[in-house]
Amino acid sequence: MPTDPAPGPGDLRVGQGYDVHPFAPGDAGRPLVLGGVTFPGEAGLAGHSDADVVAHAVTDALLGAAGLGDIGQRFPDTDPALAGADSLDLLGRAVADVRAAGWRPVNVDCTVVLDRPKLAPRRQDIHDRLSAAVGAPVTVKGKRPEGLGALGRGEGIACLAVALVVADR
Ligand SMILES: [Zn+2]
């Protein structure tokens, strides 16, 4: 059986996404962007695009659910056109690919592993921005790494996402 057969009526698929970015301490002007929401005064993450670790995990979960590979294949970090890219735009383009392949996102749920900043005050904004980009509910939870490893030392932020899609034809 092929890994990505055309969807049949009522078919469901799940996809998993994971991403991690280190902070960019040498670049004080770089904004921190999580789920399309900027956190003023917080250190930014290093990356080729805007390093939105949440948007990237959501993108990978959706591409995986639809059998469309991963974000690195779809948006190579060697592409100069993607330097500083708005990751919500990339997410929107990936969602268009998912839909073109015959799948409709049902929902996405994320866990963001980080010591700071606190997500709770901006959680609704993140939900709203990601849900608008995906065209389906996207929920986000913050989880502290409890001092363990690089994330516990506050060296970066990781995000896990799971997406459900349903056949749209
Ligand atoms: Zn990333």
Q: What is the pLDDT of residues 113-126, one digit of tens each?
A: 999 999 999 999 99
For residue 154, how far is its CA from the centre of ligand 1 (angstroms)? 17
Q: Are 65 and 166 in contact (CB under 8 A)?
A: no
For residue 16, how far is its CA from the centre of ligand 1 (angstroms)? 14
Q: Taking residues 158-163, what's their average pLDDT?
A: 98
Q: State yes or no: pLDDT of 28 exceeds 80.
A: no
Q: State yes or no: pLDDT of 38 exceeds 70.
A: yes
Cα separation, 19 vs 53, in Å, equals 6
Question: If we measure between CA atoms, which residue out of 92, 87, 130 comes closest to residue 109?
Answer: 130
Q: State yes or no: pLDDT of 143 exceeds 60.
A: yes
pLDDT of residue 6: 77
Q: What is the pLDDT of residues 67-108, one digit of tens each?
A: 999 999 999 888 888 888 899 999 999 999 999 999 999 999
For residue 52, how far is its CA from the centre of ligand 1 (angstroms)? 6
- Tell me what the pLDDT averaged over the chain comes to: 93
For residue 8, how far is its CA from the centre of ligand 1 (angstroms)? 32
For residue 17, how far is its CA from the centre of ligand 1 (angstroms)? 10
For residue 150, how far is its CA from the centre of ligand 1 (angstroms)? 17
pLDDT of residue 48: 87
Q: Taking residues 22-41, what's their average pLDDT?
A: 91
For residue 3, how far is its CA from the centre of ligand 1 (angstroms)? 25
pLDDT of residue 64: 97
For residue 106, how far is its CA from the centre of ligand 1 (angstroms)? 23
pLDDT of residue 163: 98
> Per DSSP, which regions of 8-155 are E strands?
12-22, 32-34, 37-39, 103-113, 138-143
Tokens standing for 86? 């708005």
pLDDT of residue 81: 87
Query: What is the pTM (predicted TM-score) of this model?
Result: 0.95
pLDDT of residue 1: 47
Cα separation, 102 vs 118, in Å, equals 37
Our measurement of the distance from residue 74's CA atom to the centroid of its chain's CA atoms, rounded to an integer in Å, reads 14
For residue 85, how far is its CA from the centre of ligand 1 (angstroms)? 11
For residue 153, how far is its CA from the centre of ligand 1 (angstroms)? 19
Which of 22-31, 55-64, 75-84 is predicted most confidently? 55-64
For residue 159, how far is its CA from the centre of ligand 1 (angstroms)? 9
